[in-house]
Amino acid sequence: MTVVYVLIAIVVVLLILVGVLYNRMVRLRNEADTGWANIDVQLKRRNDLIPNIVEAVKGYAAHERGTFEAVTQARAAVAGAQGPAAAGEADNLLTAALGKLFAVAEAYPDLKASENFLQLQHELSATEDKIAAARRYYNATVLRFNNAIQTFPAVLLAGVFGFAKREFFAAEAADRELPEVSFQS
Amino acid sequence: MTLQQQIRANRFRTILVLAAFALLIASIAGAVYALYGVGIGAFVLGIGAVYGVYAYFASGRMVARLTGARPVTREEWPEVYHLIDTVSIAAGMEAAPPLYVVDDPAPNAFAAGRTPATSYVVVTNGLLGEMSKRELEGVLAHEVSHIRNRDVRLMTLAAVLVGVVALISDLLARMLYFGGSGGRRKGGGNSGWIFLVLAIVTIILAPLAAVMIQMALSRRREYLADASAAEITNDPEGLALALRRLELDDREIKHVTQATAHLYIETPLRNATGPAKFVAGLFNTHPPLAARIGVLEEAGGFRLPDSLPEAGDEETRTA
């Protein structure tokens, strides 16, 4: 009789353990999902701004067609990218293309002085700050999630419940490292 | 300690603070009952309960009033709002908290509110004038971390409840001083006994208030908020610079009471002297700034220079 009780006790303990681990993985996955949604919002906002900026520059420098096309293509690539890693790379290309566009704009003092252009430029740089911030949060949540599903004992359950490793939103190598700050006093 | 553990610990401590407050009200009501009979005792108990419930739900607004903070619109401070927007996104907050200002030349900041959705961040005029963008970002990240870690509910509640404890304590001390009159009305025989009850309650009050603040303010939460801020901004040096600037500045914010001191990023009671200094020591709620800077230096692998460049001179320090 006691053997049965011991077995029941063991099963109950195991079930509780599985439940705790499962809930933790779900919570971390949800955090990563939220993090990705945040990046997505900011990427869309920037993609909405870009046509206006291209139009503004076109008004002064219509012949710089190559630059405009590069920006438009990079923008489409970001919108169509599959998965965080691909989106991250497309994002880097778009940043580079935008850099060239603004370099072109430098040569047109009237454009640089235009109220509309300045406003757009300001909004773009604000949005880029937010993309960087959202990226930091997302990559931190991915790191936590991946650590959680790859360590024992959760690693035994991750496959069963279909928790797969997440991709980082591509970032410069230096950006990916999170500072380890100890607060033990 | 993970974020989840910190949130749980804060929830537990919030219950402790509320329980301590309930105990206090009950003992005062008990003393009043012994003095003046059951009717007034029940009345005091009722008032205490109503205040407790009101304080719990309105604590955010009450703290704003206690500290003289007023809300600032996005139009007034577009740049500071942009900073707090990005910091909130990096912290994974659903929305950026609104900004409040306290008109004071001393640089300082705090966060208050009951839930993350109703919390706000307060900075002084002095902080904006003193800090570079990078340093301000570190300070805002520290305050947003307090909101995210659910520190603010506990800290806000402690401010509101401790405030009333101080008030009652003061009132009782006065009653004790003029002790004779209260007893004589009820009949001379038991006035000595009543005097004793009042004395005991008063003696219990002050330490209880101290315990409530201490529970709200384990010094670890400041280290934790610093660590979170460094992670959020990915720039421990920015926050360290901000803390050094606070350390070097010896002005202090006005309108700070014992009840609200623990809210601020830097202790506002540094320059206290005499008995006030003794009390400030009892309620020592902040680890020294030098220690906090040291932790950040170790984490980020940098060392701050002894002197700081002028605020606003971005070139010299962003390297």
State the ipTM, two decimals.
0.79
A-side interface with B, Cβ within 8 Å?
A: 31, 34-35, 38, 42, 126, 129-130, 132-134, 136-137, 140-141, 175, 178-185
Instruction: Examine the domain organization and report whether B61 and B73 are in the same domain.
Output: no
Q: In which band, very low, low, confident or very high, does the pLDDT at B94 lie, cut at 50, 70 and 90?
A: confident
Q: How many domains does chain B have?
A: 2
- Write out pLDDT tens, residues A41-51: 999 999 999 99
B-side interface with A, Cβ within 8 Å?
A: 1, 82, 85-87, 89-92, 219-220, 223-224, 226-227, 230-232, 234, 236, 287, 291, 295-296, 298-300
ω before A51 within 30° of 0 (cis)?
Answer: no
Instruction: Examine the domain organization and report whether B210 and B224 are in the same domain.
Output: no
Structural domain includes residue B318? no
Q: What is the mean predicted confidence (pLDDT) over A166-178?
A: 62
Worst-scoring range by mean pLDDT, A118-122, B35-39, B100-104, B309-313?
Answer: B309-313
Is residue B197 pLDDT above 50, yes or no? Answer: yes
Is residue A6 pLDDT above 90, yes or no? Answer: yes
* Amino acid letter for position A141: T
Q: What is the mean predicted confidence (pLDDT) over B74-86?
A: 94
B-chain residues within 8 Å CB-CB of A132?
A: 86
User: Among partner residues A129, A141, A181, which is closest to B236 by beta-carbon distance?
Assistant: A181
**Sequence spans of domains, chain A:** 2-176
Which is the catalytic residue, given B130, B143, B222, B237? B143
A168 in Cβ contact with A139 (< 8 Å): yes
Is residue A178 pLDDT above 50, yes or no? Answer: no
User: Distance (Å) from the C-alpha of residue A33 to the closest C-alpha of chain B?
Assistant: 11
Give, rounded to a whole angstrom, the gap between the first and last alpha carbons of chain B.
33
Q: Look at A137 and B296 and tell me if their CB atoms are within 8 Å.
A: no
Is the pLDDT higher at B172 or at A96?
A: A96
Instruction: Examine the domain organization and report whether B125 and B225 are in the same domain.
Output: yes
Instruction: Examine the domain organization and report whether B34 and B10 are in the same domain.
Output: yes
User: Among partner residues A137, A175, A182, which is closest to B91 by beta-carbon distance?
Assistant: A137
B301 exposure class (CB count in 10 Å sphere: 0-12, 13-18, 19+) = exposed
B-chain residues within 8 Å CB-CB of A35?
A: 92
pLDDT at B185: 46
Instruction: Examine the domain organization and report whether B259 and B135 are in the same domain.
Output: yes
Q: In which band, very low, low, confident or very high, does the pLDDT at A185 lie, cut at 50, 70 and 90?
A: very low
d(CA B117, CA B120): 9
- Write out pLDDT tens, residues B18-49: 887 888 788 778 777 877 778 888 888 888 88
Chain A interface test: which of B83, B234, B243 (most A C-beta within 10 Å): B234
In the sheet with B70-71, reading across from the earlier edge strand, the strands are: B70-71, B99-102, B120-124, B109-112
Handedness of CA B2, B4, B7, B8 (dihedral sign): negative
**Closest-CA residue of chain A to B222:** A183
Instruction: Examine the domain organization and report whether B180 and B240 are in the same domain.
Output: no
Instruction: Examine the domain organization and report whether B178 and B275 are in the same domain.
Output: no
Handedness of CA A112, A117, A121, A123 (dihedral sign): positive
Domain span at residue B171? Answer: 3-65+163-214
- Write out pLDDT tens, residues A56-103: 888 888 888 888 989 999 999 988 888 888 888 898 899 889 988 988
pLDDT at A4: 92
Q: Among residues B192, B214, B236, which one ends one of the domains?
A: B214
Under DSSP, is residue B207 helix (H, G, I), strand (E, B) or coil? helix
Q: What is the mean predicted confidence (pLDDT) over A114-134?
A: 91
Is residue B298 pLDDT above 80, yes or no? Answer: yes
CB atoms within 10 A of CB A166: 23
d(CA A56, CA B68): 46
pTM listed for this prediction: 0.80
User: Distance (Å) from the C-alpha of residue B221 to the closest C-alpha of chain A?
Assistant: 8
B-chain residues within 8 Å CB-CB of A31?
A: 92
User: Among partner residues A130, A133, A182, which is closest to B295 by beta-carbon distance?
Assistant: A182
Q: Look at B90 and A180 and tell me if their CB atoms are within 8 Å.
A: no
CATH H superfamily, domain A2-176: LemA-like domain (1.20.1440.20)
Q: Look at A185 and B299 and tell me if their CB atoms are within 8 Å.
A: no
- CA torsion, points B15, B17, B23, B25, in degrees to nearest 10? -120
Task: Please give the share of chain A, as a percent, with pLDDT higher than 90.
Answer: 44
Q: Look at A38 and B89 and tell me if their CB atoms are within 8 Å.
A: yes
Is residue B193 pLDDT above 80, yes or no? Answer: no
**Closest-CA residue of chain A to B88:** A133
User: Among partner residues A137, A181, A185, which is closest to B89 by beta-carbon distance?
Assistant: A137
Structural domain includes residue B311? no
B-chain residues within 8 Å CB-CB of A136?
A: 90, 232, 234
Is residue B222 pLDDT above 90, yes or no? Answer: no
> A177 forms bridges with which residues in the sheet?
none
**Closest-CA residue of chain A to B80:** A126
Under DSSP, is residue B2 helix (H, G, I), strand (E, B) or coil? coil
B-chain residues within 8 Å CB-CB of A179?
A: 230-231, 234, 236, 299-300
Instruction: Examine the domain organization and report whether B203 and B229 are in the same domain.
Output: no
DSSP for A143-171, please give it: HHHHHHHHSTTHHHHHHHHT--PPPP---
Instruction: Examine the domain organization and report whether B209 and B199 are in the same domain.
Output: yes
Q: Where are the alpha helices (DSSP H) in chain B?
A: 3-36, 38-67, 78-91, 125-130, 133-148, 151-177, 179-186, 191-216, 220-233, 236-248, 274-282, 289-300
User: Among partner residues A134, A178, A181, which is closest to B89 by beta-carbon distance?
Assistant: A134
Q: What is the mean predicted confidence (pLDDT) over B183-196?
A: 56
User: Distance (Å) from the C-alpha of residue B217 to the closest C-alpha of chain A?
Assistant: 14
Chain A interface test: which of B6, B79, B82, B86 (most A C-beta within 10 Å): B86
A-chain residues within 8 Å CB-CB of B231?
A: 140, 178-179, 181
Q: Among residues B175, B192, B214, which one ends one of the domains?
A: B214
CB atoms within 10 A of CB A47: 15
Per-residue tokens: B280: 């400030």
Is B76 assigned a catalytic role? Answer: no
Instruction: Examine the domain organization and report whether B135 and B223 are in the same domain.
Output: yes
pLDDT at B280: 55
Rg (CA), chain A: 24
User: Among partner residues B87, B230, B291, which is closest to A181 by beta-carbon distance?
Assistant: B230
Per-residue tokens: B75: 């139009």
A153 exposure class (CB count in 10 Å sphere: 0-12, 13-18, 19+) = exposed
Is residue A176 pLDDT above 70, yes or no? Answer: no
Interface contacts A/B by beta carbons within 8 Å: 65
Under DSSP, is residue B100 helix (H, G, I), strand (E, B) or coil? strand
Worst-scoring range by mean pLDDT, A8-12, A119-123, B158-162, B231-235?
Answer: B158-162
pLDDT at B291: 87
* Amino acid letter for position A85: A
Q: What is the 3-state secondary structure (H, E, C) of B41-82?
A: HHHHHHHHHHHHHHHHHHHHHHHHHHHCCEECCCCCCHHHHH
d(CA B260, CA B269): 10
Q: Look at B90 and A136 and tell me if their CB atoms are within 8 Å.
A: yes
Instruction: Examine the domain organization and report whether B80 and B139 are in the same domain.
Output: yes
Instruction: Examine the domain organization and report whether B72 and B147 are in the same domain.
Output: yes
Q: What is the CATH number of the domain that holds B117?
A: 3.30.2010.10
Per-residue tokens: B291: 């220690």
